[in-house]
Structure 1
Amino acid sequence: MTWAHLRHGPAHQPYAHQPPAAPPAASAVDLAKVYGSGARRVAALDGVSVAFQQGHFTAIMGPSGSGKSTLMQCLAGLDTPTSGRALIGDTDLAGLSERQLTRLRRERIGFIFQAFHLLPALTVAENITLPLAITGRRPDRQWLDQVVTTLGLTDRLRHRPGELSGGQQQRVACARALAGRPDIVFADEPTGNLDTPTSAEVLSLLAHLTHRMGQTIIMVTHDPAAAAYTDRVVFLADGRITDELHRPDADQILDRMKRFDHL
């Protein structure tokens, strides 16, 4: 199966509120997030209910201010919703203390950001295992070797970040997010600092991690070409889910995004 085949799936399926067949890796139930009050009140999320399947690569898209980053932050336990529920698996984040939230993020969630956030004084191997070392956890060596091999970093482990290209640095950041074998990885514009060929390389690797290794990835992006690598795209506008596409191509996604501009 080619990457082109993975990016060009069946025709658009209308958005439906039915939960997916597989147990969700993360979900939101009537999630709301309000900032300010009175005339300055802004509803970043307005009753969002959505589930993200295990072992799937999902993109969250929408115009600026649509609530996509807020949704990701609430699901990841980085922000507290005003009302509703955010769950990782069957764990309701609202029921956790700050210490329990920190532990959940550390043990069950991985993060990939637009900026690589690698420590220049450490080697690639040390950067990858740093979160585990800080918490005193031992890596699953077989899993870690598989991640390193899949991301093409085997011959770069002794290098330092300054000796790597931007794409290689982002691959190190991906490996770091995956090192602890998290239940779910949240990626916030992970290819925003990369050129087009390098972006395609990183996104292909993320899709491979999902389809061949069963990793769950939720990615916030504004780029239709990036979203075309995913299994599913969820669209937000004005803090609400308005549509979704399954196995989309870039043209389908761009068409949906143009509708937001017209609105």
Structure 2
Amino acid sequence: MAAATGVRAAVAARAEGIVKAYGAGETRVVALDRVSIEIGSGAFTAIMGPSGSGKSTLMHCLAGLDTVTSGRIWVGETEITGLKDKKLTRLRRDRIGFIFQAFNLLPTLNALENITLPMDIAGRKPEKEWLERVIATVGLADRLKHRPAQLSGGQQQRVAVARALAARPAIIFGDEPTGNLDSRAGAEVLGFLRRSVDDLGQTIVMVTHDPVAAAHADRVLYLADGRVVDDMANPTAELVLDRMRRFDARGRVS
């Protein structure tokens, strides 16, 4: 995991006082309440919190998949709040990767074709050396010609991880990426995500409810009622579980 060096790390994404609200008047619901955070480059950050805490909303806003009611968000040095749709779409395509619970693979394409599909659509050729490193990192070299139906769930998610990595994005967002996997396959995928940070210098932000999954991260952010209520470095599954027990559903220390 990332070591403290005393040197200020580069920031892959940051939010400044963001608010995300739905509705108005008595029906107004605040999903994010003046959240300010920084996501360090080359690090693995997990976001946790009870259902309705705003963790997925925060990820979607940081990734440019949803807009904020107020506040500002940057990906690298680019402010994405206020970007026109066309520029935002291009930024997501070129600088952001996504891994979701559903693998979202095309059944008619083999593993390699699924990995390179986003770049093919964008008219870009993958960097051969980088692609080979990614495939080696996720352990897919002997499965590249297999279609999704010929792969296990864990292997399909590895293809999804490789697809996110292949375009060399500035940051990858994962929304419960092991939620559809059994514990063994989930552990494999989390190991590959960890290696992509350690060996490839990737930046990953993952929403999860699982203390074991969060323990693979360098840092865990806890949300409750749309606010960041804690920030843990160097987590272990035991520390994460203990911290979760200390917060009730409203984010107060028990």
- Tell me the TM-score normalised to structure 2 length: 0.95
Separation in 2, partners of 1:176, 1:249: 28
In the other structure, the counterpart of 2:133 is: 146
Residue aligning to 1:237: 224
Q: How big is the shift at 1:95? A: 3.6
Cα deviation for residue 90 of structure 1 reads 1.2
**SS of residue in 2 equivalent to 1:154:** coil
Match of 1:88 in 2: 75
Counterpart of 2:22, as a letter, is Y
Matches within 5 A, 1:1-263: 21-261=8-248, 263=252
Say what the alpha-carbon RMSD is for the aligned residues. 1.5
In structure 1, C-alpha distance between the alignment counterparts of 2:231 and 2:20, rounded to whole Å = 21
Q: Is the 8 A contact 1:25 1:54 kept in 2?
A: yes
Q: Counterpart of 2:44 in structure 1: which amino acid?
A: F
Q: Any idea what the Cα deviations from partners look like across 1:47-90, whole Å, max 9, x if unmatched?
A: 00000000000000001111100110001000000000111001
Distance (whole Å) between structure 1 residues aligned to residue 243 and residue 30 of structure 2: 23
- Identity over aligned pairs, percent: 61
For residues 53 and 223 of structure 2, the distance between their equivalents in structure 1, rounded to whole angstroms, comes to 6
Q: Kindly provide the amino acid, as one letter, of the partner of residue 220 in structure 2.
A: V
Distance 1:189 1:175 in 2: 16
Please give the secondary structure, in 1, of the residue aligned with 2:118. helix
1:255 deviates by 1.2
Distance 1:222 1:204 in 2: 17
Higher relative contact order (CA 8 A, sep 6+): 1
CA–CA separation in structure 2 for the residues paired with 1:63 and 1:111: 22
Distance (Å, rounded) in 2 between the aligned partners of 1:129 and 1:212: 21
SS at match of 2:81: helix
d(CA) in 2 for partners of 1:137, 1:97: 23
Shift of 1:94: 1.6
Aligned-partner Cα distance in 2 for 1:32–1:249: 30
> Alignment length, in residue pairs?
248
Q: Could you say what secondary structure the match of 2:104 adopts?
A: coil
Q: In structure 2, give the amino acid aligned to 1:101.
A: L
Map Cα deviations across residues 105-148 of structure 1 (whole Å, 9 max, x no partner).
Answer: 00000000000000010010100000000110111111111000
Amino acid at match of 1:53: G
Q: Is the 8 A contact 1:63 1:260 kept in 2?
A: no
Unaligned 5+ runs, structure 1? 1-5, 11-19
> What SS does structure 2 have at the residue aligned with 1:153?
coil
Q: Secondary structure at the match of 2:247?
A: helix
Output the amino acid matched with 1:125.
Answer: L
Give the partner amino acid of 1:141. Answer: K
Matches of 1:261 and 1:150, distance apart in 2: 39
Quote the offset at 1:259 in angstroms.
Answer: 2.1
Question: In terms of mean alpha carbon deviation, does 251-260 or 113-122 score higher?
Answer: 251-260
Runs of 4+ in 1 over 4 A off after TM superposition: none
Length-normalised TM-score, structure 1:
0.92
